[in-house]
Amino acid sequence: MSSHAGSEGAGLNQPVRPSLGAAAPSGGVRVQQLCKTYVSGNQTLTVLDRLDLELAAGQNAAIVGPSGCGKSTLLYLLGTLETPTSGVVEIGGQRPFDLPPPQLAAFRNRAIGFVFQDHHLLPQLTVRENVLLPALATGTVQAAQEQRADALIERVGLNARRDQLPGQLSGGERQRVAVARALLLQPILILADEPTGSLDEANAKIVADLLLEMQQELGSLLLCVTHNLELAARFERTLTLNQGRFANR
C-alpha cells in the first residue's frame, strides 16, 4: 500500500510536465452485490440494490444517471466514507471495510483521492498547504512529498499562486488545487463527484482535461460522476445507474 515504484526525479528535465510517478500496481476495484439502504421510521429506501462492478487499474469511467439515483452514495461507499448495508468492496486487493477504524482512515487517506463538486479546501491554508494536507494527515511531511506538491501545483498551472489562500482564487483555480491535493499520495482510486458541476465551460474543460491526463499518467483508476454527457463521452466507459444497478452492463 505504501510502496510506490514511481521515480520522482524522472520529470526534472521537463519542468512544464513534472513526473507524477505511478499509483500502486494492481489497483483495481471490485464490487459485488453491493446494497445500501437508508431506514427512517418504518420506511426503507433502497438506493443501491445488489450492484456489481469491476474495473481494472488504469481505467476511467463516467457514472451517469438521474438526480437522486445514488451516484454520490456509490462514490461515498467506494471512498469508504459510508458503510455498505451489505456486499463486498475491494480496492487494490484490500477489503477496506474489514479494517479497524484507524487503519481504514489511513487506507482512505493513502489509497483514495477525492474531488467534490465544491473544492472543500481549507480557507485558512495556502494553496501549497492544502495540497499537502493528505501528507500532513499521515503525521509527517517528507521532502519528496513537498517536491511532489510543488510539481502538482506547477502541473495545474498555479505556481504563481501557491502561497495564496483559496479565497484569492477563482472557482476554476480552486478546483485545480483540489485535483492536485487528490493526487498528492498517488492514490489507487480517484473519485470525482460532479467535479465540473460548479464551473463555466472553459474551466470545466481545464479541470476535466487535468483529471483525465493525470489519471492516465498515474495509472490510477478514475470514477467520475457527471451530468455533462459531453464529458461522460470522453471516458473509456459510461456506467448508467438506474434503480440501484448499472443499466448497461
Task: Give dist(CA 194, CA 142) in Å, integer.
Answer: 31
Task: Give dist(CA 31, CA 8) in Å, integer.
Answer: 32
Please say which residue, 60 or 72, places its beta carbon nearer to Mg ion. Answer: 72
Distance of CA 42 to the CA centre of its chain: 35
Please say which residue, 69 or 214, places its beta carbon nearer to Mg ion. Answer: 69
Size of the site for Mg ion (CB under 5 A): 1
CB 60 → ligand ADP: shortest distance, Å? 19
Q: Is 215 a residue that touches Mg ion (CB under 5 A)? A: no
CB 163 → Mg ion: shortest distance, Å? 33
- Find the binding residues for Mg ion in span 70-89 (CB under 5 A): 72
Distances (CA, A) of 143 to 56, 136, 140, 150, 166: 31, 12, 10, 11, 24
Q: Is 156 a residue that touches ligand ADP (CB under 6 A)? A: no
Please say which residue, 65 or 96, places its beta carbon nearer to ligand ADP. Answer: 65
Residue whose beta carbon is closest to Mg ion: 72
- Find the binding residues for ligand ADP in span 26-65 (CB under 6 A): 38, 45, 47, 65
CB 69 → ligand ADP: shortest distance, Å? 4
CB 135 → ligand ADP: shortest distance, Å? 29
CB 75 → Mg ion: shortest distance, Å? 8
Please say which residue, 23 or 47, places its beta carbon nearer to ligand ADP. Answer: 47
Residue whose C-alpha is closest to residue 225's, from 181, 182, 205, 195? 195
Indicate left, alpha or beta for 116 from its phi (over 0: left) and psi (-120 to 50: alpha): beta
- Find the binding residues for ligand ADP in span 65-104 (CB under 6 A): 65, 67-73
Alpha helices in the chain (DSSP H): 71-78, 101-111, 127-136, 143-155, 171-183, 201-218, 229-232
Residue whose C-alpha is closest to residue 64's, from 212, 203, 197, 216? 197
Burial of 124 (0-12, 13-18, 19+ CB in 10 A): exposed
Residue the block writes with cell 461522460: 232
Question: In 3-state terms, what secondary structure has residue 185?
Answer: coil
Q: Is 196 a residue that touches ligand ADP (CB under 6 A)? A: no
Please say which residue, 70 or 172, places its beta carbon nearer to ligand ADP. Answer: 70
CB 40 → ligand ADP: shortest distance, Å? 6
Please say which residue, 72 or 186, places its beta carbon nearer to Mg ion. Answer: 72
Q: Do residues 8 and 186 lie in contact, with contact meaning Cβ atoms separated by under 8 Å? A: no
Q: Point out which residues bind ligand ADP (CB under 6 A).
A: 38, 45, 47, 65, 67-73
Q: Point out which residues bind Mg ion (CB under 5 A).
A: 72
